Amino acid sequence: MNENEILGFDPTQLSVFNQEEAPKANFNSNIYKPKPSESKSEDGHYYATIKIVYNPFDLKHSILEQQSYGLQDKDGWFTVVSSLTVNDTSCPIFKAWKKCHFAEPGTELWKQAAKEEDGGRALFDKRFARYVTIQVISDKNHPELEGKYMFWKMPKSIFDIINAKMNPSKESGKVAIPVMDFLFGRSLDLEIVPGAGKPGDEKYSRDTKYIGELSEDVTSCTNPDGSSLLNDAEQAVLDTYVSAMKEVWRTKDPADRAQKLADVNADPNTTELRKVYGKVLEDIKKFCPNLLDELSYKEWDDATKARVQNWIDIVLSGNNPRQAEDAPAVLTETTTATSTVSVQADPVMPAASDDADDLPF
């Protein structure tokens, strides 16, 4: 995507808002994990200011809705990103889940996927997360991260704030504000409030709340060292553009707003800003990690494929992957609940709930 496409990029075109178009597995040092247990404030809350930005390598796919599975076998826990992330339903784990989920209720096969409260074993730990790219503006808890471009698992409460600004309903009469824009977006004051108790307690993490407030004025991204992406002349061009666009964003009448936007786009200053933006976009790519390259689905390597397939085979045999090395014959969907197949449900890590999935750490 070039500067002509990003300048004035319509934030409603993000793939996350257009599901017909498209829409944590291993440790990644590029993932921002603000934890209340690491707070340096007296009240124990985690405070930081960040700027959620577009993916400079693919603007439309700036919010990655990652789907993964947390699995356990004899060798321990492992997580794999599912091809469901890219709307590919050929994921073998998903296919295995369907075989179990749609099996005759009460059979051993059905129990493999059913919830524990329904008498099942809940072996399919499916997880969902929204990842975005951010620049850390201020973080007194981890000052070494300030200025760095990273990924962040965005909680639903923050997504709702971004969604309301960038993808407002038609009924609201509001214009979409490009809060994720590199040069004229907004920063987000983040406050993370832990639940009751102390670090390590279940409620401490489970009841964590994420509060965010977008800045009223625009916030430009910077170089990682805090220096401006623009020189003085370029900054003047940006300031002129922002001043004009504020009138567009404030205008309620659609026809009047469209005319003002047309005037801005026809302004020679906007033509100059497109040139500036082309340079800025290329500069940001030099130090910004690629969201899709690092966190979206990629074909599993041979070792992962083999491990996943063995896990699936054991599950479809009606056995427990945490205990069995290899799978006996696969069960059929007509296997009855009184089958003699031994399936042991020993205590394991709880399946990720919706609340747990919302935690960005």
User: Helices 232-250 & 254-266, crossing angle to 10 degrees?
Assistant: 160
Does pTM surpass 0.85? no
Confidence of residue 357 (pLDDT cuts 50, 70, 90): very low
What's the pLDDT at 3? 57
For 24, which DSSP code?
-
Q: How far apart are CA 346 and CA 121, in angstroms?
A: 9
Distance of CA 166 to the CA centre of its chain: 16
Tell whether the model's pLDDT for residue 1 goes beyond 80: no
Reading the block at residue 338, the tokens are 């009184």
Give me the mean pLDDT over the 294-308 stretch. Answer: 97
Say if CB 185 and CB 51 are below 8 A apart. yes
What are 293's strand-pairing partners?
A: none
Reading the block at residue 246, the tokens are 């504020």
CATH H-level, domain 1-336: superfamily: Replication Fork Single-Stranded Dna Binding Protein (3.90.198.10)
What ranges make up the beta strands (E) of the chain? 31-32, 46-53, 64-73, 76-81, 125-138, 149-153, 188-193, 209-214
Q: For residue 265, which amino acid is it?
A: N
What are 45's strand-pairing partners?
A: none
Reading the block at residue 311, the tokens are 């896990």
Structural domain spans, the chain: 1-336
Residue partners of 194: CB distance under 8 A and separation at least 6: 36, 37, 44, 45, 204, 205, 207, 208
Q: How far apart are CA 165 and CA 154, in angstroms?
A: 16
- Among residues 28, 26, 10, which one has the least CA distance to residue 18? 10
What's the pLDDT at 25? 40
Percent of the chain whose pLDDT exceeds 90: 76
Q: For the segment 72-87, what is each residue's pLDDT rounded down to a tens digit?
A: 999 999 999 999 999 9
What's the pLDDT at 330? 55
Reading the block at residue 231, the tokens are 């020189």
